[in-house]
Amino acid sequence: MGEASAGNLLNMSLLARTRHLMARHGLRPVKSLGQNFLIDGNIAQRIASAAVDCGPSCIIEIGPGLGALTRLLADAEVPVIAFEKDRKLKTPLDELLGGLPSVQVRSEDFLKADLSAHLGEGTVACGNLPYYITTPILEKLFLASTPLRAIVVTAQREVVDRIQAAPGSPEYGSLTVFCEYFVECVESVCALRPSVFIPPPSVQSMAVRMTPRRRPPEAVASPEHFFSGLRAAFGYRRKTLKKALATAPQTGLSPADSDAVLAEAAISPQRRGETLSFDEFTALGNALAAWEEAR
Ligand code: SAM
């Protein structure tokens, strides 16, 4: 397979370019790294635009793969720092991005990377995520020391459904409430059928743009107690809240204490955690904090 300049690569369709880079560098998608390469140029453009339209001052990309999004993100003309765990992708990525001074490809595990130098008011994270580590990646992004301006990611449809679920629905769970704590709004960018990737994943996918809160929800008096209530409620989701709170070791509540805390939060002890709204989780966390303080 002959050498193609970066200019020639850009004249190819995303499918042809991806096939060319794989053949030329003898690459096969690595399943254990969640490698499904996007081959639909229109979808790549929609996802990259969702990030670029936020007016970022810096873009952090998670898992650039063969650069489907990276090349488009570079159009923002701000620093793009792309963390790719698979070292074998460095040469093809450099070939594609050749000479673009704003793009830095780091052959690093994103979960271990130090992001501090790249975080600021205008930092945007973007990526078609490796699905095997979606939740730890989101946690790392939510817990960034400076809240990101936006997080634009493609994830399994099922995970996006869990993030956007309503209380009482089968998808509603700790991930829903966890995300609501950190994220002000979630917008759908586009749906991705398996056929827009090579190889096609066995699941449907969805790209979303999340806007993290600039500061934690004001009504939450104590994050520690909020998350303690959340873990208890969903850790024992088949039990009533009264039993779940009294069973969860981290709360330290007896069944009678559990009744008192729930009365303080104005929540029936017979309800199950999976029916509680975000505001009710806030009330529960605040009641747990007040109970501990009064002890
Ligand atoms: N962005 C490319 C695209 O849209 O075609 C690739 C997406 S592919 C679903 C996920 C990418 O994440 C792969 O290139 C994979 O090697 C990379 N990856 C997997 N685990 C990673 C990790 N811990 N840190 C950084 N990159 C990782």
For the Cβ of 273 lying below 6 angstroms from any atom of ligand 1, the answer is no
Do both 138 and 40 map to the same domain?
yes
Do both 15 and 34 map to the same domain?
yes
β-bridge partners, 62: 83
> Residue 2: is its pLDDT beyond 70?
no
Q: Residues with Cβ < 8 Å from 95, sequence gap 6 or more?
A: 6, 9, 21
Query: What is the pLDDT confidence band of residue 1, given thresholds at 50, 70 and 90?
Result: low
In 101-173, where does DSSP find H-type helix?
134-142, 157-163
Ligand 1 geometric centre to CA of 35 (Å): 6
> Are residues 181 and 226 in contact, defined by beta-carbon separation less than 8 angstroms?
yes
pLDDT at 104: 96
Ligand 1 geometric centre to CA of 105 (Å): 12
Do both 206 and 256 map to the same domain?
no
pLDDT at 3: 62
Final residue belonging to a domain, choices 168, 183, 212:
212
Domain of residue 138, CATH code: 3.40.50.150
Note the pLDDT tens digit of each residue in 48-105. 999 999 999 999 999 999 999 999 999 999 999 999 999 999 999 999 998 799 999 9
Note the pLDDT tens digit of each residue in 162-217. 999 999 999 999 999 999 999 999 999 999 999 999 999 999 999 999 999 999 99
Do both 184 and 249 map to the same domain?
no
Say how many domains are in the chain: 2
Q: Is 1 domain-assigned?
A: no
Ligand 1 geometric centre to CA of 248 (Å): 37
pLDDT at 175: 96
Ligand 1 atom nearest to CA at 137:
23
pLDDT at 6: 73
Instruction: Provide the domain limits for residue 286.
Output: 223-294
Give nearest CA residue, ligand 1 atom 1: 64
The model's pTM is 0.94
**What is the rounded distance in angstroms from the CA atom of residue 28 to the CA atom of residue 85?**
15
Do both 96 and 230 map to the same domain?
no
Note the pLDDT tens digit of each residue in 223-249. 999 999 999 999 998 899 999 999 999
pLDDT at 84: 98
For the Cβ of 110 lying below 6 angstroms from any atom of ligand 1, the answer is yes
Amino acid residing at 218: E
Domain of residue 231, CATH code: 1.10.8.100
**What is the rounded distance in angstroms from the CA atom of residue 47 to the CA atom of residue 209?**
9
Q: Is 88 domain-assigned?
A: yes
pLDDT at 295: 84
Do both 114 and 159 map to the same domain?
yes
Note the pLDDT tens digit of each residue in 146-155. 999 999 999 9
Tokens read off for 148:
């990101």
Amino acid residing at 181: Y
> Residue 266: is its pLDDT beyond 90?
yes
For the Cβ of 109 lying below 6 angstroms from any atom of ligand 1, the answer is yes
Residue-averaged pLDDT of the chain: 96
pLDDT at 193: 98
Do both 59 and 184 map to the same domain?
yes
pLDDT at 166: 95
Final residue belonging to a domain, choices 212, 239, 260:
212
For the Cβ of 64 lying below 6 angstroms from any atom of ligand 1, the answer is yes
Read off the pLDDT of each residue in 7-21 and give the average, rounded to a whole number.
93
